[in-house]
A and B are shown apart, each in its own frame.
Chain A
């Protein structure tokens, strides 16, 4: 009926959709008719006109980008933080079909759990030849040190994900299992909330099951594996760090679930327990949710070159003092060769056939199967049994004769490493792109979590579609499009999607590494604001005088340029005498100091460091802050590609950058939780402010110049510190150095005077957590107190005294120097005391460990 009227929006959008169609489509039948369970959704979409739909699609991507939803791509520095693409069209699954999916996935999870338990336990599957022993022993995921380790509770496989697709026969197939640290559930949740926010009209008249309940079940699953049934366990999420492809999700889940986000270096094994290093000392960890591959988790017993793990972890697990999900060694289930034997395994444990078919798989470790794979290589996909060794998947028909021969030779040499698989059929589903719908291959990742007596499934999942029409590549690494996944339900679901953390009433902790990053966010943010403001003033100055004085540099300009070198630390820089330098040369140099990201101390360089520190603690920023961070990243990119000729535009970009930064700082001032994190961040800011100010004052105010030069210098300084109007309102005189020093150092009404800032710093350092009663704590506040009293007792007259011969204010120079060195000592002490990094190495580096007989 819908297909008869050529004027409906749907008709326009689906023009060309059905050309050359051979695959099944999730939404449309072969005649182009809309399947029953999609009618309501398409009706809702038709209510929005094309322009509206397009702009909603834009809005959706913008929202996800601002929320910081990204997927990192390895080996691609610019690809770090690739934006997440989400389609406005969800994937719909009718209730009846979902019931089958649910049954099939729960059955599969049950069986895989049994397999895992057996392989690290009795190994009856091998003894009784249900699975060929070679297939297990040759797989890199069979970790012998993990033998006989069991998690408390009924299940070994805690989290499980599987990719499903619909074959040409209309049946659902299992493509692969993800069993060690399955990713995607956080993205699924984020997809739902973004779609709900941006296109609420779509949801009209739909009953879609909510996802929140799944995360509550997940929390319960963790509580069930707590060591010795501990009631309020501390749970950490172990991430490989900000460079990992799904780091967004690690940070997202950690803050959503109330877990502490930790990297290997944040954790340490002592007295047989795992501890997290916090600014207050060590806190015991009970459960680790890991996103680190199992081989990398303990350099003592597993891969010794890993720096992502925790030395001694396996022993702590064996002692039953910490539980890890999924257990180490569970990647053995990701063995593609297992697919060939799963049918028998289902029979063995359940005496049932699997609900879902699996991709037909032939393991080459058996001579007959090997023969079959070689004979049919043109029709098959050849894979290695594990993901870690060499290149993965090869499509037989796409190989040249030479490549085929090579492959067969390698297979014959080590047959047990290979499988042949049937090429998988996919169904398509409509993706909204360039103003119309296009059919794209579609894969659904489903998620399960262990529960009492079985498994719970997330009602929905992560749907991913191929990035291009006709392409079979459906993975995040290759760039793909995600869809929200709707499971229709007849009952009105009332589970609030909010988590109740009643079980996790533990005090939040600040890991030392997070503290350090917050400290540096404070420092770098202030450094960018201060240096860019100062450089901007000098640049303007230079521009004006460039035309006025025929390129001759004035003494004032010289002093200002020197100061730039001092505050950016880019020695020798402008300190090198260069009589011949033209204004053009100076502009080029300054351009470098702003835009060159390889120049240590340049603005873009510092912004990069700032962003890095921000990403490393991304679980601590609000969504609003993410929007600002995203803007900063954009501005930074523009600055980094700005040509020297375009330096005029630098003002706009620097203004944008500072605008973003000031909003960021203001947002934190208003809403950041006043805990230890805030202390670290504020102390970082103050240390940076004070030390940059001292550097400026020392560079600009110690030399005695003629009055009109001093006038110019003071004006520039006061403008850059935004103290000019303060100065005028207080002193109302001509610029003079004595009142300026009073304002800059001593005036308590001036919030950025050295004295005011030291006063604040003193307040903050006194609130620092007391790790142990000891000298270190008072050492830190003593340093600040010494600075404070030194400034408090300053005698402006004495400071102003000029050595006639040198034309130099010796006392001012001395005071600045003493203060500067005390402030940098403070930074060093904080680092040593609160952020201490432990580096570890192998005992007796293997190279000098020789056995000699």
Chain B
């Protein structure tokens, strides 16, 4: 399956900005059966300085800066991705590993896992929390396999948390999300990661896109898609296996991966500092189009 993604971010500033520094994480990853065929980021006004780098996690990030006054900034990321499936997901389904075993192997610092261990630890948006632990405990039956525990947890979050845009911000703590039972995709993802890490398992945050379908009989609106976030869990001798708690499904052909990190903080699509004191206005438009 081939996708074309267009992600437009537009800032307008009340007062002119004299200087800005940005870090952009919008280039899809190359993974097994997930090929980024092309990717291009266009910026208006054209920046004075621009560098592509790989970050600590292997994601592609773009740094750019502008030193000329501007009252408007547009970042257009266009990419094409060929998606043939998710090989790890099929293996995980049959994996007999119990979640307890995985927890044990991580705790005993198994050699294979020396880098994976960091995904069991708290990070900026993933706290250690007794409450979160309590919330998820019933998904982790003593003799459950890792896969069935993850699946149960995904379902539990999907059933318990209502998808409600505008209720939370990126700084809303996951403990609050559990209490309020409302949130958007990164809240779902953060909550699931939090539950897994509090049980001593390795989980990371995936930032990307999902193809959405219009209601039956309606035309798909331009710009109606959005960035998406989901979760990836480490399975021994298989690797990372993805779960989408927002939609209660296992990503296969509709999820396009841009970046992995410990949480949103590591892979925020755009981070920037602008030298200006005035207000800013932001609009984001995303289109995911299936090409074949």
Q: Is the CB of A853 within 8 A of B184?
A: yes
**Cβ of B67 under 8 Å from chain A:** yes
**Cβ of B27 under 8 Å from chain A:** no
Please give, as numbers and ranges, the residues of chain B lying within 8 Å of A848 by CB-CB distance: 169, 282
Query: A311: nearest residue on chain B (CB-CB)?
Result: B273
Q: Is the CB of A300 within 8 A of B21?
A: yes
**Cβ of B246 under 8 Å from chain A:** yes
If A840-B274, A852-B165 touch, whether A144 touches B114 (CB-CB below 8 Å) is: no
**Cβ of B229 under 8 Å from chain A:** yes
If A129-B109, A272-B49 touch, whether A846 touches B121 (CB-CB below 8 Å) is: no
Q: Is the CB of A839 within 8 A of B272?
A: no
Query: B49: nearest residue on chain A (CB-CB)?
Result: A272
If A311-B21, A838-B18 touch, whether A844 touches B114 (CB-CB below 8 Å) is: no
Q: Considering the chains assembled together, what is the distance between the CA atoms of A269 and B275 in angstroms?
A: 11
Please give, as numbers and ranges, the residues of chain A lying within 8 Å of B11 by CB-CB distance: 843-844
Q: Considering the chains assembled together, what is the distance between the CA atoms of A848 and B115 in angstroms?
A: 34
Please give, as numbers and ranges, the residues of chain B lying within 8 Å of A414 by CB-CB distance: 122, 128
Query: A848: nearest residue on chain B (CB-CB)?
Result: B282
Q: Is the CB of B49 within 8 A of A300?
A: no
Q: Considering the chains assembled together, what is the distance between the CA atoms of A138 and B109 in angstroms?
A: 14
Choose the segment among B50-58, B79-87, B231-239 that binds chain A (4+ C-beta atoms closer than 8 Å). Answer: B50-58
Please give, as numbers and ranges, the residues of chain A lying within 8 Å of B280 by CB-CB distance: 841, 843-845
Q: Is the CB of A318 within 8 A of B53?
A: yes
**Cβ of A258 under 8 Å from chain B:** no
CB neighbors of A among B197-229 (8 A) = 210, 212, 225-229
Q: Is the CB of A846 within 8 A of B171?
A: yes
Q: Is the CB of A844 within 8 A of B282?
A: yes
Q: Given A138, A315, A853, which contacts B121 in the complex, CB threshold below 8 Å?
A: A138
Please give, as numbers and ranges, the residues of chain A lying within 8 Å of B227 by CB-CB distance: 851, 853
Q: Given B22, B56, B65, B184, which contacts A850 in the complex, CB threshold below 8 Å?
A: B184
**Cβ of B93 under 8 Å from chain A:** no
**Cβ of B41 under 8 Å from chain A:** no
Contact flags A718-759 to B (C-beta < 8 A → 1, else 0): 000000000000000000000000000000000000000000
Query: B133: nearest residue on chain A (CB-CB)?
Result: A413
Q: Is the CB of B121 within 8 A of A268?
A: no
Q: Considering the chains assembled together, what is the distance between the CA atoms of A127 and B210 in angstroms?
A: 36
If A126-B114, A127-B114 touch, whether A839 touches B275 (CB-CB below 8 Å) is: yes
Please give, as numbers and ranges, the residues of chain A lying within 8 Å of B277 by CB-CB distance: 839, 841
**Cβ of B148 under 8 Å from chain A:** no
Q: Is the CB of A846 within 8 A of B169?
A: yes
Q: Considering the chains assembled together, what is the distance between the CA atoms of A838 and B19 in angstroms?
A: 9
Q: Considering the chains assembled together, what is the distance between the CA atoms of A849 and B20 in angstroms?
A: 18
Q: Considering the chains assembled together, what is the distance between the CA atoms of A528 and B275 in angstroms?
A: 36
CB neighbors of B among A269-286 (8 A) = 269-272
* Minimal beta-carbon separation of B28 from chain A (angstroms): 16
**Cβ of A847 under 8 Å from chain B:** yes
If A134-B121, A269-B65 touch, whether A843 touches B272 (CB-CB below 8 Å) is: yes
Q: Considering the chains assembled together, what is the distance between the CA atoms of A272 and B117 in angstroms?
A: 35
**Cβ of B170 under 8 Å from chain A:** yes
Q: Given B121, B246, B271, which contacts A137 in the complex, CB threshold below 8 Å?
A: B121
Q: Considering the chains assembled together, what is the distance between the CA atoms of A260 and B9 in angstroms?
A: 40
Q: Given A145, A840, A844, A850, which contacts B270 in the complex, CB threshold below 8 Å?
A: A844
* Minimal beta-carbon separation of B82 from chain A (angstroms): 22
Q: Is the CB of A271 within 8 A of B212?
A: no
**Cβ of A631 under 8 Å from chain B:** no
Contact flags B263-292 to A (C-beta < 8 A → 1, else 0): 000100011111111001010000000000
Q: Considering the chains assembled together, what is the distance between the CA atoms of A840 and B274 in angstroms?
A: 5
CB neighbors of B among A157-212 (8 A) = none
Query: A142: nearest residue on chain B (CB-CB)?
Result: B118
Please give, as numbers and ranges, the residues of chain B lying within 8 Å of A845 by CB-CB distance: 280
Contact flags B126-164 to A (C-beta < 8 A → 1, else 0): 001010000000000000000000000000000000000
**Cβ of B48 under 8 Å from chain A:** yes
Q: Is the CB of B19 within 8 A of A853?
A: no
Contact flags A415-428 to B (C-beta < 8 A → 1, else 0): 01000000000000
Q: Is the CB of A851 within 8 A of B282?
A: no
Q: Is the CB of A853 within 8 A of B185?
A: yes
Q: Is the CB of B171 within 8 A of A847?
A: yes
Q: Given A133, A269, A852, which contacts B117 in the complex, CB threshold below 8 Å?
A: A133
* Minimal beta-carbon separation of A759 from chain B (angstroms): 37
Q: Is the CB of A853 within 8 A of B212?
A: yes
* Minimal beta-carbon separation of B10 from chain A (angstroms): 10
Q: Is the CB of A841 within 8 A of B229?
A: no
Q: Is the CB of A847 within 8 A of B273?
A: no
Query: A843: nearest residue on chain B (CB-CB)?
Result: B272
**Cβ of A147 under 8 Å from chain B:** yes
CB neighbors of B among A113-156 (8 A) = 126-127, 129, 132-134, 137-138, 144-145, 147
Which of A132, A319, A840, A847: most chain B CB closer than 10 A? Answer: A840
**Cβ of B60 under 8 Å from chain A:** no
* Minimal beta-carbon separation of B122 from chain A (angstroms): 8
Q: Which residues of A contact B (CB under 8 A)?
A: 126-127, 129, 132-134, 137-138, 144-145, 147, 268-272, 299-301, 304, 311-312, 315, 318-319, 367, 413-414, 416, 838-853
The 8 closest A-B pairs by CB, nearest first: A843-B272, A137-B118, A312-B21, A144-B56, A311-B273, A853-B228, A844-B282, A847-B169
Sample (12) of A-B pairs whose CB atoms are under 8 Å apart: A127-B114, A129-B111, A269-B21, A299-B273, A300-B271, A311-B21, A315-B51, A844-B280, A851-B228, A851-B229, A853-B184, A853-B226
7 additional A-B residue pairs with CB within 8 Å, beyond A841-B274, A844-B280:
A132-B109, A134-B118, A840-B276, A844-B11, A847-B170, A853-B229, A853-B246
